[in-house]
Amino acid sequence: MPNIKEKKKIKQLIFVTHNPSVAVYGDAFNYIYVENNGTINYKNYLIEKSEDKERLIKILEGGKKSFANRNHKFGDIIGEEEYGN
């Protein structure tokens, strides 16, 4: 991911993925969520907006409880200084 973070400083990068880790660790600030229930719907989320951040936690991490549980289980192993970087 370090290469992606460097490239995004000078270029716009667009990724399509079903893997939430790519979305999270790619350090994106704009997420477009696509849902297909017979009709295709698009929703744009910005990481800077708190209401969008809450929805992104649900979409990418499975919700606040799952996110907190994952952090509780692995936070001491990963360490604060390395988390997400």
What is the per-residue pLDDT across 5-51, written as a single tens digit (0 to 9) for each?
788 889 888 888 888 888 877 778 899 999 999 999 999 999 899 99
Residue 31: per-residue pLDDT = 93
Number of domains the chain is built from: 1
Please, which residues bridge with residue 32 across strands? 44
Residue 65: both structure tokens together: 């409880």
**E strand or H helix at 54:** helix 50-61
Residue 80: per-residue pLDDT = 57
| Closest among 42, 22, 23 to 32, alpha carbons compared | 42
Domain span holding position 6:
2-78
54, 63 contact by CB (below 8 A): no
Residue 83 falls inside a structural domain? no
Residue 1: per-residue pLDDT = 65
Residue 34: both structure tokens together: 């696509």
Mean pLDDT confidence for 66-73: 84
Residue 47 falls inside a structural domain? yes
Q: Please state the pTM of the whole predicted model.
A: 0.66
